[in-house]
Amino acid sequence: AQKITQTQPGMFVQEKEAVTLDCTYDTSDPSYGLFWYKQPSSGEMIFLIYQGSYDQQNATEGRYSLNFQKARKSANLVISASQLGDSAMYFCAMREETSGSRLTFGEGTQLTVNP
Amino acid sequence: EAGVAQSPRYKIIEKRQSVAFWCNPISGHATLYWYQQILGQGPKLLIQFQNNGVVDDSQLPKDRFSAERLKGVDSTLKIQPAKLEDSAVYLCASSSRVNTEAFFGQGTRLTVV
Protein backbone atom coordinates (compact mmCIF):
# COMPACT_ATOMS: atom_id res chain seq x y z
CA ALA A 1 0.00 0.00 0.00
CA GLN A 2 1.13 3.52 -0.74
CA LYS A 3 2.25 5.31 2.39
CA ILE A 4 1.82 8.77 0.87
CA THR A 5 -0.82 9.54 -1.76
CA GLN A 6 -1.05 12.74 -3.73
CA THR A 7 -4.05 12.43 -6.02
CA GLN A 8 -3.56 15.64 -8.02
CA PRO A 9 -0.89 15.22 -10.71
CA GLY A 10 -1.42 18.84 -11.76
CA MET A 11 -3.10 21.92 -10.33
CA PHE A 12 -3.69 25.38 -11.74
CA VAL A 13 -4.36 28.58 -9.79
CA GLN A 14 -4.65 32.24 -10.59
CA GLU A 15 -2.07 34.59 -9.14
CA LYS A 16 -3.09 35.98 -5.72
CA GLU A 17 -5.62 33.20 -5.11
CA ALA A 18 -5.29 30.40 -2.56
CA VAL A 19 -4.74 26.76 -3.51
CA THR A 20 -4.91 23.48 -1.60
CA LEU A 21 -2.68 20.53 -2.46
CA ASP A 22 -3.96 17.21 -1.17
CA CYS A 23 -1.99 14.57 0.72
CA THR A 24 -3.19 11.46 2.49
CA TYR A 25 -0.97 9.04 4.37
CA ASP A 26 -1.04 5.56 5.78
CA THR A 27 0.73 4.52 8.95
CA SER A 28 0.08 2.51 12.08
CA ASP A 29 2.91 4.23 13.90
CA PRO A 30 1.54 6.57 16.62
CA SER A 31 4.52 8.90 16.24
CA TYR A 32 5.24 10.38 12.84
CA GLY A 33 5.99 13.65 11.08
CA LEU A 34 4.64 15.10 7.88
CA PHE A 35 6.63 17.37 5.58
CA TRP A 36 6.00 19.39 2.45
CA TYR A 37 8.79 20.16 0.00
CA LYS A 38 8.83 22.33 -3.12
CA GLN A 39 10.91 21.31 -6.13
CA PRO A 40 11.34 24.02 -8.78
CA SER A 41 12.66 23.19 -12.23
CA SER A 42 16.21 23.72 -10.95
CA GLY A 43 15.81 20.41 -9.10
CA GLU A 44 16.54 21.36 -5.51
CA MET A 45 14.08 20.18 -2.86
CA ILE A 46 13.09 23.11 -0.64
CA PHE A 47 11.62 22.42 2.80
CA LEU A 48 8.36 24.30 3.37
CA ILE A 49 6.55 23.10 6.48
CA TYR A 50 6.40 20.36 9.12
CA GLN A 51 3.61 18.85 11.21
CA GLY A 52 4.17 16.39 14.03
CA SER A 53 1.57 13.75 14.79
CA TYR A 54 1.18 15.00 18.34
CA ASP A 55 0.96 18.67 17.43
CA GLN A 56 -2.37 20.10 18.54
CA GLN A 57 -2.38 23.03 16.17
CA ASN A 58 -1.98 23.17 12.40
CA ALA A 59 1.47 24.29 11.32
CA THR A 60 1.90 27.61 9.55
CA GLU A 61 4.93 29.19 7.85
CA GLY A 62 4.26 32.50 6.17
CA ARG A 63 1.93 31.87 3.22
CA TYR A 64 2.01 28.11 3.83
CA SER A 65 -0.28 26.30 6.21
CA LEU A 66 -0.90 22.63 6.77
CA ASN A 67 -4.48 21.43 7.21
CA PHE A 68 -3.86 18.41 9.44
CA GLN A 69 -6.83 16.06 9.92
CA LYS A 70 -5.46 13.16 11.91
CA ALA A 71 -8.60 11.01 11.90
CA ARG A 72 -8.79 11.27 8.11
CA LYS A 73 -4.99 10.82 7.79
CA SER A 74 -4.72 13.86 5.60
CA ALA A 75 -2.17 16.67 5.60
CA ASN A 76 -3.12 19.12 2.90
CA LEU A 77 -0.92 22.09 2.05
CA VAL A 78 -2.62 25.45 1.66
CA ILE A 79 -0.78 28.22 -0.17
CA SER A 80 -2.37 31.62 0.24
CA ALA A 81 -1.96 34.56 -2.15
CA SER A 82 -0.24 32.49 -4.86
CA GLN A 83 2.72 34.01 -6.66
CA LEU A 84 4.20 33.18 -10.05
CA GLY A 85 7.28 31.85 -8.27
CA ASP A 86 5.16 29.22 -6.56
CA SER A 87 4.97 27.26 -9.83
CA ALA A 88 6.82 24.02 -9.06
CA MET A 89 6.41 20.38 -8.05
CA TYR A 90 5.21 19.89 -4.48
CA PHE A 91 5.93 16.73 -2.53
CA CYS A 92 4.33 15.49 0.64
CA ALA A 93 6.53 13.24 2.76
CA MET A 94 6.27 11.28 6.00
CA ARG A 95 8.74 10.15 8.60
CA GLU A 96 7.66 7.31 10.88
CA GLU A 97 9.37 6.81 14.21
CA THR A 98 9.84 3.12 13.52
CA SER A 99 11.73 3.83 10.29
CA GLY A 100 14.23 6.22 11.85
CA SER A 101 14.65 9.42 9.88
CA ARG A 102 13.82 8.01 6.45
CA LEU A 103 11.46 10.28 4.50
CA THR A 104 8.87 8.54 2.32
CA PHE A 105 7.66 10.79 -0.48
CA GLY A 106 4.46 10.93 -2.50
CA GLU A 107 4.40 11.20 -6.29
CA GLY A 108 4.07 14.97 -6.23
CA THR A 109 1.71 17.63 -7.59
CA GLN A 110 2.75 20.03 -10.35
CA LEU A 111 1.40 23.49 -9.48
CA THR A 112 1.12 26.15 -12.14
CA VAL A 113 0.32 29.73 -11.16
CA ASN A 114 -1.23 31.73 -13.97
CA PRO A 115 -0.86 35.53 -14.20
CA GLU B 1 25.44 29.39 5.29
CA ALA B 2 26.41 27.29 2.27
CA GLY B 3 23.90 24.65 1.18
CA VAL B 4 24.42 21.04 0.18
CA ALA B 5 26.82 20.85 -2.75
CA GLN B 6 26.70 18.10 -5.35
CA SER B 7 28.72 17.36 -8.44
CA PRO B 8 28.51 16.82 -11.28
CA ARG B 9 25.15 18.38 -12.18
CA TYR B 10 24.74 16.21 -15.25
CA LYS B 11 26.29 12.93 -16.40
CA ILE B 12 25.69 10.77 -19.46
CA ILE B 13 27.21 7.29 -19.59
CA GLU B 14 26.74 4.09 -21.51
CA LYS B 15 25.24 1.05 -19.83
CA ARG B 16 27.73 -1.17 -18.04
CA GLN B 17 30.02 1.81 -17.37
CA SER B 18 30.68 3.05 -13.86
CA VAL B 19 29.92 6.48 -12.42
CA ALA B 20 30.47 8.33 -9.15
CA PHE B 21 28.68 11.25 -7.56
CA TRP B 22 30.01 13.54 -4.85
CA CYS B 23 28.21 15.34 -2.06
CA ASN B 24 29.37 17.90 0.49
CA PRO B 25 26.73 18.41 3.20
CA ILE B 26 26.02 21.53 5.21
CA SER B 27 28.81 22.10 7.70
CA GLY B 28 28.13 20.38 11.00
CA HIS B 29 25.33 18.17 9.74
CA ALA B 30 25.85 14.67 11.06
CA THR B 31 23.15 12.96 9.01
CA LEU B 32 23.56 12.52 5.25
CA TYR B 33 21.12 10.92 2.80
CA TRP B 34 21.26 9.80 -0.82
CA TYR B 35 17.94 9.69 -2.66
CA GLN B 36 17.11 8.46 -6.16
CA GLN B 37 14.38 10.33 -8.03
CA ILE B 38 13.15 8.69 -11.22
CA LEU B 39 11.36 11.02 -13.63
CA GLY B 40 7.75 11.55 -12.58
CA GLN B 41 8.20 10.00 -9.15
CA GLY B 42 9.02 11.16 -5.66
CA PRO B 43 12.51 10.63 -4.25
CA LYS B 44 13.35 7.22 -2.77
CA LEU B 45 15.96 6.81 -0.04
CA LEU B 46 19.00 4.77 -1.09
CA ILE B 47 21.22 5.15 1.96
CA GLN B 48 21.49 7.17 5.17
CA PHE B 49 24.65 7.91 7.13
CA GLN B 50 24.96 9.11 10.71
CA ASN B 51 28.46 10.60 10.83
CA ASN B 52 30.44 7.97 8.90
CA GLY B 53 28.29 4.98 9.85
CA VAL B 54 25.46 3.54 7.76
CA VAL B 55 22.05 3.80 9.44
CA ASP B 56 19.77 2.59 6.65
CA ASP B 57 20.73 1.01 3.34
CA SER B 58 17.75 -1.32 3.03
CA GLN B 59 16.74 0.10 -0.37
CA LEU B 60 20.23 0.28 -1.86
CA PRO B 61 20.82 -2.21 -4.73
CA LYS B 62 24.04 -3.46 -3.22
CA ASP B 63 25.03 -5.57 -6.20
CA ARG B 64 25.79 -2.40 -8.16
CA PHE B 65 25.50 0.60 -5.84
CA SER B 66 27.96 1.55 -3.12
CA ALA B 67 28.41 4.62 -0.98
CA GLU B 68 30.87 5.85 1.58
CA ARG B 69 31.26 8.80 3.88
CA LEU B 70 34.84 9.08 4.97
CA LYS B 71 35.58 11.19 8.04
CA GLY B 72 31.87 11.87 8.48
CA VAL B 73 31.77 14.79 6.02
CA ASP B 74 31.81 14.33 2.22
CA SER B 75 30.17 11.34 0.61
CA THR B 76 30.40 9.53 -2.70
CA LEU B 77 27.82 7.31 -4.35
CA LYS B 78 29.00 4.87 -7.01
CA ILE B 79 27.17 2.77 -9.56
CA GLN B 80 29.04 -0.10 -11.22
CA PRO B 81 27.93 -1.30 -13.70
CA ALA B 82 25.14 1.09 -14.65
CA LYS B 83 21.86 -0.07 -16.16
CA LEU B 84 19.35 1.86 -18.26
CA GLU B 85 16.91 1.93 -15.33
CA ASP B 86 19.45 3.83 -13.22
CA SER B 87 18.66 6.96 -15.22
CA ALA B 88 17.41 9.37 -12.57
CA VAL B 89 18.28 12.38 -10.47
CA TYR B 90 20.44 11.52 -7.47
CA LEU B 91 19.78 13.86 -4.58
CA CYS B 92 21.97 14.31 -1.56
CA ALA B 93 20.53 15.77 1.63
CA SER B 94 21.75 16.49 5.14
CA SER B 95 20.25 17.31 8.50
CA SER B 96 21.69 18.45 11.80
CA ARG B 97 19.91 15.78 13.82
CA VAL B 98 18.04 12.65 12.94
CA ASN B 99 14.58 14.11 13.48
CA THR B 100 14.91 17.52 11.89
CA GLU B 101 14.15 18.58 8.34
CA ALA B 102 16.55 17.55 5.61
CA PHE B 103 18.17 20.11 3.31
CA PHE B 104 18.72 18.96 -0.26
CA GLY B 105 21.30 19.70 -2.92
CA GLN B 106 20.40 20.39 -6.54
CA GLY B 107 21.04 16.81 -7.54
CA THR B 108 22.95 15.01 -10.27
CA ARG B 109 20.95 14.07 -13.34
CA LEU B 110 22.22 10.74 -14.67
CA THR B 111 21.33 9.47 -18.12
CA VAL B 112 22.34 5.92 -19.02
CA VAL B 113 22.23 5.18 -22.76
Does the pLDDT value for residue A2 go beyond 80?
Answer: no
Radius of gyration in angstroms for the set of CA atoms belonging to chain A, rounded to a whole number: 14
Tell me what pLDDT residue A98 has. Answer: 81
**Closest CA–CA distance from residue B95 to any residue of chain A (Å):** 10
In this complex, do B107 and A43 lie within 8 Å of one another by their Cβ atoms? yes
Does the pLDDT value for residue A96 go beyond 90?
Answer: no
The percentage of residues in chain B with a pLDDT greater than 70, rounded to a whole number, is 97
Tell me what pLDDT residue A40 has. Answer: 93
In this complex, do B106 and A105 lie within 8 Å of one another by their Cβ atoms? no
Q: Cβ contacts (< 8 Å) between B43 and chain A: which residues? A: 45, 91, 103, 105
Cα separation, B77 vs B90, in Å, equals 9
Say how far residue B73 (Cα) sits from the centre of its chain: 13
In this complex, do B55 and A105 lie within 8 Å of one another by their Cβ atoms? no
Cα separation, B10 vs A95, in Å, equals 29
pLDDT digits (tens, 9 = 90+) for A3-23: 999 999 999 999 999 999 999
In this complex, do A107 and B95 lie within 8 Å of one another by their Cβ atoms? no
In this complex, do B104 and A37 lie within 8 Å of one another by their Cβ atoms? yes
Cα separation, A62 vs A4, in Å, equals 24
Does the pLDDT value for residue A101 go beyond 90?
Answer: no
Interface test with A, best of B91, B99, B106, B111 (most A CBs within 10 A): B99
Which of A 51-90 lie inside 8 A of B, CB atoms?
A: none
- CA atoms B107, A2, A95, A68: torsion sign: positive
- CA atoms A92, A98, A102, A106: torsion sign: negative
Tell me what pLDDT residue B26 has. Answer: 94
Does the pLDDT value for residue B75 go beyond 80?
Answer: yes
Does the pLDDT value for residue A1 go beyond 80?
Answer: no
Which of B 76-105 lie inside 8 A of A, CB atoms?
A: 89, 91, 93, 95, 98-99, 101-105
Tell me what pLDDT residue A35 has. Answer: 95
pLDDT digits (tens, 9 = 90+) for A70-92: 999 999 999 999 999 999 999 99
In whole angstroms, how far apart are CA B50 and each of A103, B29, B47, B105?
15, 9, 10, 18
Nearest partner of B107 among B12, B21, B13, judged by Cα: B21
Which of B 36-55 lie inside 8 A of A, CB atoms?
A: 40-45, 48, 55
**Closest CA–CA distance from residue B109 to any residue of chain A (Å):** 9
Does the pLDDT value for residue A103 go beyond 90?
Answer: no
pLDDT digits (tens, 9 = 90+) for A30-78: 999 999 999 998 888 999 999 999 998 999 999 999 999 999 999 999 9
Residue B3's Cβ-count burial label (10 Å; 0-12, 13-18, 19+) is middle
pLDDT digits (tens, 9 = 90+) for B6-65: 999 999 999 999 999 999 999 999 999 999 999 989 999 999 998 889 989 999 999 999
- Sorted by sequence, the CB contacts under 8 Å of residue A84 that are 6+ apart come out as A15, A113, A115
Cα separation, B91 vs A46, in Å, equals 12
- Sorted by sequence, the CB contacts under 8 Å of residue B40 that are 6+ apart come out as A107
| Angle at the Cα of A108 from the Cα atoms of A15 and B89, rounded to 5 degrees | 115
Tell me what pLDDT residue B36 has. Answer: 97
Does A93 touch chain B if contact means CB atoms closer than 8 Å? yes
Tell me what pLDDT residue B98 has. Answer: 63
Please answer whether residues A20 and A63 qualify as being in contact, where contact means their C-beta atoms are separated by less than 8 angstroms. no
